[in-house]
Chain A
Amino acid sequence: DTEVTQTPKHLVMGMTNKKSLKCEQHMGHRAMYWYKQKAKKPPELMFVYSYEKLSINESVPSRFSPECPNSSLLNLHLHALQPEDSALYLCASKSRAGPGYEQYFGPGTRLTVT
């Protein structure tokens, strides 16, 4: 099974809402990622978890809060977002945190902030 799943597929939320994005993999991967992707642009790294510990936070605003409850699951909690946060949010995983391994991407959650 080489699949990364993400739920929900689409999400519309107001600027005062609290919502969460979920990502799951059962490949035994120990590094998991959150990316934000705007239209016609490459993914931008937000967070990296390595062995369930946050290892990289790319100076992401605190209205985005990641959580890694176990080695298979990664959440992104959203609160008080802005319209410019509307984007495709991608989750990825790879077997180890080192550079010589490929990342497996999920299908993404299309987020619209109104």
Chain B
Amino acid sequence: AQSVTQLDSQVPVFEEAPVELRCNYSSSVSVYLFWYVQYPNQGLQLLLKYLSGSTLVKGINGFEAEFNKSQTSFHLRKPSVHISDTAEYFCAASKETSGSRLTFGEGTQLTVNP
């Protein structure tokens, strides 16, 4: 079975500091990986995705992620965060044999403090 593990449930940082949100996946077959952000009382918005090709993926709002097959990781990074980045972040994965299903991690609450 496929699983997605977000290693930190909460990450507090100060404004303008760098941040890394960690995500590990388990799969014996090729996977497609996604990071979504959810602001309070809103739906999920896609930040970035890895389908194939370059392992460094750039997304919206200055975020990027690196696919590491040997470490089975897909960590999300931003070099300098803003107050407005405070939100819940979900890592998600799908694979050829999972059909239409998307497996989500438990989420990481990023809180950016002034």
Contacts and interface: CB of A to CB of B under 8 A. Distances in A.
B98 A41 contact: no
Interface residues of B, number: 26
Contacts of A102: 34, 46, 49
Given A43-B44, A105-B36, A106-B43, 18 more contacts: A40-B88, A40-B109, A41-B106, A48-B100, A56-B100, A56-B101, A99-B32, A99-B95, A99-B96, A99-B100, A100-B32, A100-B51, A102-B34, A102-B49, A103-B102, A104-B46, A105-B45, A108-B41
Interface in B26-53: 32, 34, 36, 41-46, 49, 51
Q: Which 6 A-B pairs have the closest CB atoms?
A: A42-B104, A99-B94, A105-B43, A105-B44, A107-B43, A48-B100
